[in-house]
């Protein structure tokens, strides 16, 4: 019974991983673009030229932090779900 519960739990994990990676691929460049536009608006009144630059290591660190955060949260939720007895979980579905 325990094997079945773990198999069902981890069966959808690749879908979650793909969703997290896809979300990071969309939001990191989008947030960089929006921050660049906000920077231009904020420094518009300053004399001279202040360029907005972002470097590739920043993107990599952001992606690694996002994936690491997902892994920590998934591990914590998995441990919490494992503690719930299967009989109790099935009783709540019937009610």
Q: Mean pLDDT in each 10-residue stretch from start to end of the chain (95 residues)?
A: 56 78 91 93 86 89 91 83 71 56
Write the CB contacts of 50 (distance below 8 Å, at least 6 apart in sequence). 39, 43
Q: How confident is the model at residue 89, as a pLDDT?
A: 65
Check: CB of residue 75 under 8 Å from CB of residue 53. no
Q: How confident is the model at residue 88, as a pLDDT?
A: 67
Q: Which domain holds residue 74?
A: 2-94
Q: How confident is the model at residue 64, as a pLDDT?
A: 93
Q: How confident is the model at residue 18, as a pLDDT?
A: 84
Q: How confident is the model at residue 38, as a pLDDT?
A: 94
Q: How confident is the model at residue 69, as a pLDDT?
A: 92
Counting the structural domains of the chain, the total is 1
């Amino acid at each position: 019974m325990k094997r079945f519960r773990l198999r069902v739990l981890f069966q959808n994990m690749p879908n979650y991983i793909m969703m997290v990676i896809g979300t990071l691929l969309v939001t990191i460049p989008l947030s960089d673009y929006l921050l660049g536009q906000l920077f231009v608006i904020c420094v518009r009144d300053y004399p001279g030229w202040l360029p907005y630059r972002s470097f590739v290591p920043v993107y990599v660190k952001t992606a690694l932090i996002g994936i690491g955060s997902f892994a920590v949260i998934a591990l914590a939720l998995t441990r919490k779900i494992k503690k719930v007895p299967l009989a109790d979980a099935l009783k709540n579905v019937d009610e």
